[in-house]
């Protein structure tokens, strides 16, 4: 059974999603900006890569959010089963 520290660690892992989102969007947009400067195509690559970065970041957040939701559901199921087993065992011991 997982303890509260493990649950906290797992939640902290996902708390960085906002920072990762921003880094991905900025990196793609910056790459597009530098391509636009080099190729003199302003604002073509900046726009396209900025939107691509936004979509990639959204995909990552949604995917990781779904993973966390699944992990949390499994963790809660484990906890509920352990509590019911514990209650059943204590009920058996009292008889």
Enumerate the domain spans of the chain.
Answer: 17-88
Give pLDDT, residue 7.
Answer: 73
pTM above 0.85, yes or no: no
Residue 42 dihedral angles phi and psi, to the nearest 5°: -50, 135
pLDDT tens over the chain, length 95 residues: 456 777 787 777 778 888 899 999 999 999 999 999 999 999 999 999 999 999 999 999 999 889 888 888 887 877 787 777 777 777 655 55
């Amino acid at each position: 059974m997982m303890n509260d520290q493990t649950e906290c660690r797992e939640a902290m892992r996902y708390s960085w999603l906002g920072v990762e989102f921003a880094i991905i969007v900025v990196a793609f947009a910056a790459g597009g900006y530098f391509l636009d400067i080099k190729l003199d195509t302003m604002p073509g690559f900046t726009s396209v890569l900025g939107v691509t970065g936004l979509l990639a970041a959204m995909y990552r957040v949604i995917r990781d959010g779904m993973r966390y939701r699944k992990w949390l559901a499994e963790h809660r199921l484990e906890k509920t089963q352990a509590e019911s087993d514990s209650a059943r065992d204590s009920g058996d011991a009292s008889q």
